[in-house]
Amino acid sequence: MIEASRIPILKIEEFLVASVQVELYDKSAVMFKENLLERIYETKAKGMILDLTAVEVVDSFMGRIITEVGAMAALMGTRVVITGLQPAVAITLVELGLELEGVYTALNLEKGIVALRRMIAEGEE
Amino acid sequence: MPRERTVPIRSDLDIVTARVEGRELAKELGFGVIDQARIATAISELTRNIVQYAEQGEAIMRPVEVSGRVGLEIICQDEGPGIPDVGLAMQDGFSTSTSLGMGMPGAKRLMDEFEIESEIGIGTTVIIRKWLR
């Protein structure tokens, strides 16, 4: 079984970056969500990128986890941007009826960092 | 034609096995990446229902050919409690468990064909199909 704790959550300046490269089982997805929130608390990161470039299936369970990470991090004062959703994943999410409401997305990691910087700057004005 | 595969469903680990096998079979049959994702996602939703409501069951995946058309058929069956009101279970947002209730109607939208039979105390069988275009 893939341990959620083996997904690295890296800190770069004031941001956290986590890239999911493995198939997450339901229980490991829940554990991963908790790990992300703990790392936010420990590092006081202002923003977090959740990179899903390598993820091939986002079903309703995983979709809910993603939405929850965004909402929970927001309660802690941290912005989350999802990056790298594959076209096939975006298509199935919409057809499934899940549009990840309230979740910010960007095409790739680079654009995600730009979006985070902008969101944080707007928040500090 | 690729061979038929059966994946026993007992835990969340088997949900991943089933969708990986289903995607593999879809690829072997010549489905494109978007249909592969639709098929894998539908399998994920239906096998999760088995784990959540029936505890155990199986997913049978096989190539089908009907009057020259080739497709992929997936049968998800369990001997669980059965669904009291199938019509209600097919409505968006309806759920008696912890999911968002997107599973069944979502799987139906992702596939070309969707059939369900459920009997209280006997179990539930869902058959989904996707045809090669």
pLDDT digits (tens, 9 = 90+) for B95-110: 554 444 568 899 999 9
Q: A98 and B20 in contact by Cβ < 8 A?
A: no
Query: pLDDT above 90 covers what percent of chain B?
Result: 76
Residue A17 near residue A10, CB atoms below 8 Å = yes
Residue A60 near residue A89, CB atoms below 8 Å = no
Residue predicted with more confidence, B127 or A102: B127
Residue B45 near residue B97, CB atoms below 8 Å = no
Q: Which residues of chain A have pLDDT under 50?
A: none
The b/e string for A43-77 (b: 16+ C-beta within 10 A; e otherwise) is eebbbbbbbbeebbbbbbbbbbbbbebbebbeeee
- Using CA atoms, how far residue B100 sits from A29, A67, A94, B69, in Å, is 16, 12, 14, 34
Residues 86-115 of B with CB under 8 A from A: 92, 99-100, 102-103, 105-106, 109-110
Q: Which of A7, A1, A63 is nearest to A34 (CA)?
A: A7
Q: Distance (Å, rounded) from C-alpha B75 to C-alpha B58?
A: 8
Give residue limits of the domains in chain B: 5-131
Q: Distance (Å, rounded) from C-alpha A58 to C-alpha B7?
A: 20
Residue B76 near residue B47, CB atoms below 8 Å = yes
Q: Rounded to a whole number, what is the distance in Å from the CA of B37 to chain A's nearest CA?
A: 6
pTM over 0.95: no
From the candidate CATH numbers 3.30.565.10, 3.40.50.2000, 3.40.50.10860, 3.40.50.11060, the one assigned to the domain spanning B5-131: 3.30.565.10
Q: pLDDT of A64-84, one tens digit each?
A: 999 999 999 999 999 999 999
Our count of domains for chain A comes to 1
Interface confidence, given as ipTM, is 0.89
What is the pLDDT, as a whole number, of residue A11?
95
Q: Find all residues with CB under 8 Å of A36, minimum gap 6, and list them.
A: A9, A16, A18, A48, A50, A69, A73
What is the pLDDT, as a whole number, of residue B100?
47
What would the two tokens of residue B1 be?
Answer: 């034609």
Q: Distance (Å, rounded) from C-alpha B89 to C-alpha B102?
A: 9
* Candidates A63, A88, A98; nearest CB to B34: A88
For residue A21, give its domain range.
4-124
Q: Name the pLDDT band for B91 (thresholds 50, 70, 90).
A: confident
What is the pLDDT, as a whole number, of residue B102?
66
CATH number at residue A25: 3.30.750.24
What is the pLDDT, as a whole number, of residue A88?
96
What is the pLDDT, as a whole number, of residue B98?
46
